[in-house]
Amino acid sequence: MRGFCSSSVFIISLLFISGSAGADEPETLWGWLIDFSRAKEVKPVSNLSYQEECGACHFAYPPGLLIEASWRQLLTEKALEDHFGENAELDSEMLNELRSYVFQRTADKSYSKRARKIAYASQGQSDLLRITDVPYIKRKHHEIPDELISGNDKVRLLSQCNTCHTKAEQGDFDDDSVWIPDYGIWNK
């Protein structure tokens, strides 16, 4: 009985702490505990400015796919001047808005199962600037033959997540929703 009471007090304390600390943050421990349907996948992009600015050139990656240290390196004025060979400069107001949005939703601040795995695999590797270099993501894709990615004109790059992950816009990167163009369902 005593162990049960101690455990109950601990859980209730966590709920109150997470509820008050993350009142403005949609991904709180409280939300995770009561909504198991989204506990596995990363939170989808929910900021229109982020979707428009980043999604204008490439798939707007959910912030939960990288750790905060990586996002902090990517979202600097200098880094955006040469963003993987492209000029992606933003005015300071827009950059601050995107930073605020992203930094609150990084893999290391998420309660989702997939984001936690990404954060764990990325520990001590703040130089990971490409999502495709994240050890967890590399491991999840290592069995896919090169001819289905770079040898496939409809895919070409692993970084184009939404080409094969049919529910990527919803933050769902589960194997069950993978459809490789000119190949079909991916079965390991």
CA distance 65 to 134: 9
Confidence grade of residue 187 (pLDDT, cut at 50, 70, 90):
confident
Average pLDDT, the chain: 86
Asked, for residue 149, whether it belongs to a domain, the answer is: yes
Asked, for residue 145, whether it belongs to a domain, the answer is: yes
Which residue range forms the structural domain that includes residue 12? 2-34
Q: Is 67 helix (H, G, I), strand (E, B) or coil?
A: coil
> Number of folded domains in the chain?
2
Tell me the angle at which helices 48-55 and 92-103 cross, rounded to the nearest 10 degrees: 110
Instruction: Determine the pLDDT at residue 162.
Output: 96
pLDDT of residue 114 exceeding 80, the answer is yes
Instruction: Determine the pLDDT at residue 17.
Output: 46
pTM of the model: 0.79
77 and 141 assigned to the same domain: yes
CA distance 15 to 71: 28
Asked, for residue 129, whether it belongs to a domain, the answer is: yes
